[in-house]
Structure 1
Amino acid sequence: MAESPSLKSYMQNRRSSPVLQLGEPGPSRDEIAEILSIAARVPDHGKLAPWRFVVFRGEERERLGRSLAAIAQEQRPGIGEEILKVERERLTRAPVVVMLVSRAGPHAKIPEWEQQLSAGAAGMNLLIAANALGYAACWLTEWMAYDTAAASVLGIEPSERIAGFIHIGSNDQKPFERDRPELEEIVTWVGGEE
């Protein structure tokens, strides 16, 4: 089978950009739609689409950041202004932030675990699609992905879970390489000596 050298090379060297290195320009509305269309093309047993996307852009990110900071302050009395500033800026560190929401739940035929895996695949496709359009991206969860008060502020239903926040923007710095596992540590061969 012929392989695509550019895709192979990209996948061999794919890295996330640190969120603090992301800046303008970010993708346009049409580019975001293209990215999300690609993100949605994942294995999805039963055609359930057990995930959805919420796109944060513009000034609304600042309002939500103030709400998240208020939650953090309420839950951790005495946190300093420096930490509150970080909380206010969580959704403004990149021009676009896409919240990936898992809608996995009980189903007569499709195990919830398969639905969760589909959401994870959508997140990975989202990162790859953003990179394919020339943008840098970073997938984070952080505390607000697991906090019920934050979930309410972010529009998450009780039956949903936040799978992460994908920050998208431009980065003129080369992302650093991190250690990767040796294949011998993560691969078990069963049968065949070729």
Structure 2
Amino acid sequence: MFNDRSTPLAALATRRSGKPRDLVAPGPDADQLRQILDIAMRTPDHGKIAPWRFVVIDDREAFAALLGRAFRAERPETRDADLTVVEQFAHQAPVLVVAMSSPKKDSPIPLWEQELSAGAACMNLLHATHALGFAGGWLTGWAAYSDVVRDALGTAPERIAGFLFLGTPANALSERPRPDPAQIVAHWPESR
């Protein structure tokens, strides 16, 4: 069952990612989004340096134009069909938040720990979205690695950690295959 919020454990156990193309209105309103972002910031953060930040995309047309410019600049042989996909990406789901990994280079905290904190902030954002009765999808793709897109939203050494699309599922969310715990959980020292 998706979105069982009867207990905290049920909420964690039933959170599912929504396909951004299948997330429709309503999405979180301004107050709900503020609450989601506040919860996202309650993440492990060694050194209390907040090595992440969020950019809420309010103008989807301008964002689509940015993606189109970046795509054409990076791929001179761009076809119209490619640009259609880029346009569709920009308009998925009612709410779009871009998570930025914002490492603090002058901090003694290792870069790896700062990047892990950015990922944890994204996961907290998805959990908060789920807790409010919505679904979210976390995508990367070419745009997350585009310097043109990144430079429009931030500055190096920042990197885009992901595009977080939020809304209401248009279709039932399905469970995806999960790893077999026996394959990924070990105990040390091994029992004999």
When the two structures are superposed, what TM-score results if normalisation uses the length of structure 1?
Answer: 0.89
Q: CA deviation at 1:91?
A: 2.3
> Structure 1 residue 111: deviation in Å?
1.1
Residue 38 (str. 1) matches residue 31 (str. 2):
no
Report the RMSD for the aligned CA atoms in angstroms.
1.8
Q: Distance in 2 between matches of 1:100 and 1:22?
A: 18
Per mean C-alpha deviation after superposition, the further-off stretch among 184-193 and 119-128 is: 184-193
Compared CA separation, residues 35 and 108, structure 1 to 2 (3 A): closer
Quote the residue 2:185 is aligned against.
187
**Separation in 1 of the partners of 2:128 and 2:75?**
37
Please state how far the C-alpha of 1:191 moved relative to its aligned partner. Answer: 4.4
1:70 CA drift (Å): 2.3
Distance 1:192 1:7 in 2: 32
Q: Report the CA distance between 1:53 and its aligned residue.
A: 0.5
Contact 1:66 1:87 in 2 (8 A): no
Instruction: Say which SS state the counterpart of residue 138 (structure 1) adopts.
Output: strand
In structure 2, the partner of 1:178 is 176
Name the residue aligned to 1:137.
136
How many pairs align? 187
Query: Residue 38 of structure 1 aligns to which amino acid in structure 2?
Result: I
Secondary structure of 2:92's aligned partner:
coil
Aligned to 2:154: 156
Name the counterpart of 1:16.
17
Give the C-alpha shift of residue 47 in structure 1.
0.7
1:79 counterpart = 2:85: no
Between stretches 139-148 and 75-84, larger displacement belongs to 75-84
- Tell me the CA shift for residue 123 of structure 1: 0.3
Structure 2: any 5+ residue segments left out of the alignment?
A: none
Cα deviation 1:29-82 (Å, max 9, x = unaligned): 11110000000001111110111000013xx11112122112212322333222
String of CA shifts for 1:141-180, please: whole Å, max 9, x gaps.
Answer: 1111111112123x22112111001000111421122111
Within 5 A, what are the aligned runs for 1:3-152? 6-57=7-58, 60-152=59-151
Deviates more, 1:60-69 or 1:44-53: 60-69
AA partner of residue 145 (structure 1) = A
The 3 A distance-change label for structure 1 pair 38 and 73 is same
Shift of 1:108: 4.6
- Structure 1 unpaired stretches of 5+: none
Distance in structure 2 (CA, Å) of the matches to 1:50 and 1:142:
22
- Contact 1:56 / 1:91 at 8 angstroms: preserved in 2? no
Deviation larger for 32-41 or 78-87? 78-87
Aligned residues of 2:20 and 2:136 also touching (Cα < 8 A)? yes
Q: Tell me: CA distance 1:109–1:152, structure 2 relative to 1, closer, same or farther (3 Å).
A: closer
C-alpha separation in 2, matches of 1:24 and 1:108: 41
Maintained 8 Å contact 1:104/1:112: yes
Q: One-letter code of the match for 2:76?
A: P
Q: Which residue of 1 aligns with 2:165?
A: 167
Of stretches 135-144 and 11-20 in structure 1, the one that deviates more from structure 2 is 11-20
Q: What's the TM-score once normalised by structure 2's chain length?
A: 0.90
Letter of the 2:163 counterpart: F
